[in-house]
Amino acid sequence: MSAVFEEEVGIRPMQELDVRAVHAIETEVHAYPWTLGIFQDCLRVGYCCWVDEVATSVTSYGIMSIAAGESHVLNIGVASAMQRRGLGSRMLSHMLELAARHQAGTTFLEVRPSNVAALALYRQFGFIEVGLRRGYYPGNKGREDAVILALQLKC
């Protein structure tokens, strides 16, 4: 076990004070990051916003909406230095448990087909492809499609 995880704080609700740290991770790991304002809006409207903290540093985050018996994973990010340590899996697992507790029967998300690591993670959890959104994401050479994935939850 890594010495870093001995000082683990764990997953907790995101607070306004976390938004800058979350945005810093977002800009580090995504070519087309969300703005600071988008994260602030997610908190303001009451989306499920979570951070994972080691020692005093935010290492990952997850944002999800839950409504009308469905949940939608909107964003997950893990700091580059902390990737490949199971933090993305832990955050996704936490969000799926929360969705099930809120009686969401299905969880949806979109992912870039080029994001092989994310696709592998989602498939490990049992997500299946249910559609495609053409030109959904900005890209270096025009737009990139989004694969729509879904997972039936046991409520």
* Beta carbons within 8 Å of 56's beta carbon, 6+ residues apart: 9
In the residue annotation, 61 being an active-site residue is answered as: no
In the residue annotation, 144 being an active-site residue is answered as: no
CA atoms within 13 A on the CB side of 125: 28
Catalytic pick from 26, 122, 137, 144? 122
Alpha-carbon radius of gyration of the chain = 15
Catalytic pick from 70, 110, 129, 136? 110
Count the Cβ atoms, other than its own, within 10 Å of residue 71: 26
Q: What is the dihedral of CA 121, 76, 5, 43, to 10 degrees?
A: -150
3-state helix, strand, coil in the chain (%, to 5): 35, 40, 25
| Residues designated as active site | 110, 122
